[in-house]
Structure 1
């Protein structure tokens, strides 16, 4: 294709030259002209190749088999979200009166719950996909619209405590929202944000049993730690959660995209050896610490934060905003606890985009992390304006 471009340019220039000078150009001059084109074009295309690599399809989430699927996966292993967060591709856009929506640090865009764990991978139990009914007539709702960047969508990324405002979408036991049938269009989806923990689902407690299971060997350092902290907390759940988060803060954990390979008891290795991880590592280990103490807990995946669009009229959430957090069942409701906020509060308060720009250590200790960060920021900024103009 590139060669044909050069030939076309050459013919245009040759024709123009002949019309002006009305004589044949020599082969030597032809070669000089082509060489001139190549000298200018090759560096230009090299720059394009470096800064604009071939991009994977939107919503691509790596899974353990090494394959990739289009759409958010219903499983999570260490490193999955870290890989996704290195992409600045647009995931979805939020439309509506943005001033009425929560602040960035409280923008948790929920996809689904993962509550089954085999020691390596978290998966979504089928009981979570039980349709539920909700009563929000007495609650004040704020309407907003969700516009996916991917025509074919399965899970609707909604703010916590949101319900579908259209009959073509269904709420499920884990709070997730899905289309009753596959939707293949980029039409906005109307949702209502209740903004209250008082939103009740019928039969919502049926998944508590799965949120306490430990279907893998439990004799571990993590279990011993949980027992010690539980005793120090006098068996009080809220105090126990505070002590666990404080323990994370005191252990010099590192929030990073540069992850090592975990083997054996991955939670023990992460908590007591490497101490380096991304949001999925912290959410997973926190949930296990809760379960070891007998508290129902689960992992939630989705996105957190986002950025205002250049026109100030919509809110953009990108793949780099992908996130995992935890929920603990207390006082009759599921309550969000985000251990990442204890390790890297700036990630939650200011958003992942800002965090990546201001913290080059997140790329790891490689000598080229500066150029990697600059390249990422450059491509991300171009995508922001490209999405604004074309989406």
Structure 2
């Protein structure tokens, strides 16, 4: 093979390596909150490109490191790269998160640290993949893991992996055949091999794929194993035919484009709040409903303030309110803030400037050069509102056309029965407030249940709200709040979807009248805000089991508690109570509680991924036992210096030599076998070690005096078996 042909072969092998790793990266955008996948894809391509160009190791490592640091700064720290100010932030991040890594507290780790670990994992993966391709010329295990990874995600998540499976079948078999051919050429030392072997393979593979795709197919002959696995693992009811597999939500997340799936219990503390009264903590709002979830309007408008919030108000002067103060202490710093509705001022140290995104009302802390600052704590003043029901009933119809256009938006393919239901619920209501309350209370009296585990994900043909309202009738805050917002918009009432946290768990009451609340990932919540002309944005709470923390002054509304639906049985009431108790539960009381929480959160997808990863790890460790087990024995040599240790080590050596391929015949003596081994390795170490072994066994000669010699001989032979 000439130089050009060799270069082309190496290029295509690198291209196939990139493709295999790309198949691992693509699903992350669908099945997780991982963003900016292109950053990691470019990194993988760069690693392979540097290796292909033959760049020296130290220079390649320097280029990769610069890319990693530059991207981490661009995504998380946003400081001038050559000023090196970001180095301090990155160092603090690594030091702060290393403890969590050592204690396997992955939920506590910051996104920047997770990204750093992911970069390092990809770096190692590229190295291993190239080793398997160009040195071992064996890739079946990694290929099988890739197929299994895609198949599991396609079966149990919202990721559609049919195209990936087809690519892996054709491209993977081509790659495995190529590597098998290369091994044959190398093993048989073929000087003039057939270089057109791939043509018939591609022809027959293409014909087989075409026949398999176009040929008529029988209906499934075996029952679907997924419901069986789900019932066996305690997954609950079977999914309905045609429904998408579930994806999970843990705490507050930024990606709401695909709602649905269970809400996983997680007691990780997010922040502590010192406040006089309970209220919700806002993070952001979203205004575009897509039929599958929520997105925010595309706007680059940023409103800036240093202390006094003079850029945004949520309600008018006519609303009665009480001025209060509060303090937030984050468990780990975040770039965004949490704040109550009615915020009037923010107080933080260090010359911080606050920037509010007009599109979603998310507030960030920055320095005066617009670089993001992660605050550990800050204080605030805000107006705690009290809404007069009488005034709300008297408000005129909203006239602001721009506001109506934005906050009554609905997808064109929204099912008509959703609009018809909204009109039916509000029929006969003479004012906007009564219409809003009718929709808010609709879920309490019509068979809807609060559920965090068995929550459906709409298929490509289904609408998220339509599915909840008419099909499943069970879900958690996202289902209730999104449905209320869509129903309100269907009758022309401007409403928006709000995300943040509930007030949390009371942990202490101080002498100055302030209460300390602990807010965890379990307290992540969503609710609804409705615009009333002349009053402003008013919060409403449609989720069963939750109570609106804000005051509505009307005696009749406070005279009696909200009745339970008539068709709810005592067992269902207890279930609702237990689910709510779980969602706002106190933190873990110890290791036992953490273990219980972990296994309780394992649903079908997690169970399959966990068991699959465990099985794959055990299989890899077993297949590679000749590589790592000897070193454990070497370690025992350093710790235990005894005759029994030597005897066990010698017998272990015999097993390793057998695994290596140096088989001992049944009638062959140890000395003859040792001579055979020495002839193979061109040394006399096995014979010398065998002589010492026979002295220890038959003559009972103490081995401690010659321990260093024994150890050296044994280690040399072991290293030869794993080289």
What's the TM-score bracket when you normalise by the shorter of the two chains?
0.5 to 0.7
Give the superposition deviation at 1:254.
0.6
What is aligned with 1:261? 456
Matches of 1:88 and 1:208, distance apart in 2:
39
Give the superposition deviation at 1:322.
0.7
Matched position secondary structure for 1:283 = helix
* 1:279 correspondence with 2:464: no
Give the superposition deviation at 1:363.
7.5
Matches of 2:468 and 2:422, distance apart in 1:
15
Give the superposition deviation at 1:207.
5.2
Matched position secondary structure for 1:75 = coil
- The alignment's C-alpha RMSD in Å is 4.0
What is aligned with 2:342? 161
Matches of 1:380 and 1:360, distance apart in 2:
21
Q: Which residue of 351, 369, 379 corresponds with 1:190? A: 379
Give the superposition deviation at 1:83.
2.5
Give the superposition deviation at 1:288.
0.3
What is aligned with 1:115? 287
Matches of 1:154 and 1:224, distance apart in 2:
42
Unaligned runs of 5+ in 1: 1-51, 199-203, 350-357, 365-369, 387-391
Aligned positions of 1:1-391 closer than 5 A: 55-57=106-108, 72-75=253-256, 77-79=258-260, 83=263, 86-95=265-274, 98=275, 101-102=276-277, 104=278, 107-127=279-299, 130-131=302-303, 133-134=310-311, 141-151=323-333, 153-166=334-347, 168-173=353-358, 174-180=360-366, 181-186=371-376, 188-196=377-385, 208-234=404-430, 236-263=431-458, 264-309=462-507, 314-332=516-534, 333-340=536-543, 343-345=544-546, 360=575, 380-382=588-590
Query: What per-residue deviation string (whole Å, max 9, x for no partner) do you get for residues 300-332 of structure 1?
Result: 000012122358563211111110000111123
Unaligned runs of 5+ in 2: 1-102, 112-156, 160-246, 305-309, 388-399, 551-572, 595-723
Matches of 2:252 and 2:280, distance apart in 1:
18
Matched position secondary structure for 1:209 = helix
Give the superposition deviation at 1:190.
2.2
Q: Is the 8 A contact 1:145 1:189 kept in 2?
A: yes
Q: Is the 8 A contact 1:164 1:171 kept in 2?
A: no
Q: Is the 8 A contact 1:296 1:328 kept in 2?
A: yes
Query: What per-residue deviation string (whole Å, max 9, x for no partner) do you get for residues 152-193 of structure 1?
Result: x2321111111342452234445442213322352x112211
Give the superposition deviation at 1:269.
1.7
Give the superposition deviation at 1:109.
0.3
Matched position secondary structure for 1:165 = strand
Give the superposition deviation at 1:360.
4.7
Q: Is the 8 A contact 2:251 2:523 kept in 1?
A: no
Query: What per-residue deviation string (whole Å, max 9, x for no partner) do you get for residues 24-49 of structure 1?
Result: xxxxxxxxxxxxxxxxxxxxxxxxxx
Distance 1:378 1:298, change over 3 A: closer
Give the superposition deviation at 1:379.
6.2
Distance 1:225 1:185, change over 3 A: closer
- Structure (1/2) with the larger strand percentage: 1
Matched position secondary structure for 1:194 = strand
Q: Is the 8 A contact 1:300 1:324 kept in 2?
A: yes
Matches of 1:69 and 1:257, distance apart in 2:
11
Q: Is the 8 A contact 2:419 2:490 kept in 1?
A: yes
Matches of 1:206 and 1:131, distance apart in 2:
19
Distance 1:142 1:243, change over 3 A: closer
Matches of 2:436 and 2:508, distance apart in 1:
39
Q: Is the 8 A contact 2:252 2:521 kept in 1?
A: no
Matches of 2:365 and 2:490, distance apart in 1:
36
Q: In terms of Rg, which structure is larger? A: 2
Matched residue count: 295
Give the TM-score normalised by the residue count of structure 1.
0.63
Q: Is the 8 A contact 2:456 2:472 kept in 1?
A: no
Give the superposition deviation at 1:253.
0.9
Matches of 1:315 and 1:299, distance apart in 2:
24
Q: Is the 8 A contact 1:74 1:124 kept in 2?
A: no
Matches of 2:540 and 2:508, distance apart in 1:
31
Distance 1:160 1:268, change over 3 A: same
Query: What per-residue deviation string (whole Å, max 9, x for no partner) do you get for residues 104-148 of structure 1?
Result: 3xx110000011111001012234954273489x99743322222
Query: What per-residue deviation string (whole Å, max 9, x for no partner) do you get for residues 192-226 of structure 1?
Result: 1122479xxxxx99655321111341333211111
Matches of 1:379 and 1:70, distance apart in 2:
14
What is aligned with 2:228? none
Q: Is the 8 A contact 2:449 2:576 kept in 1?
A: no
Matches of 1:194 and 1:209, distance apart in 2:
29
- Structure (1/2) with the larger helix percentage: 2
What is aligned with 2:152? none
Distance 1:347 1:242, change over 3 A: closer
Distance 1:171 1:140, change over 3 A: farther
Higher relative contact order (CA 8 A, sep 6+): 1
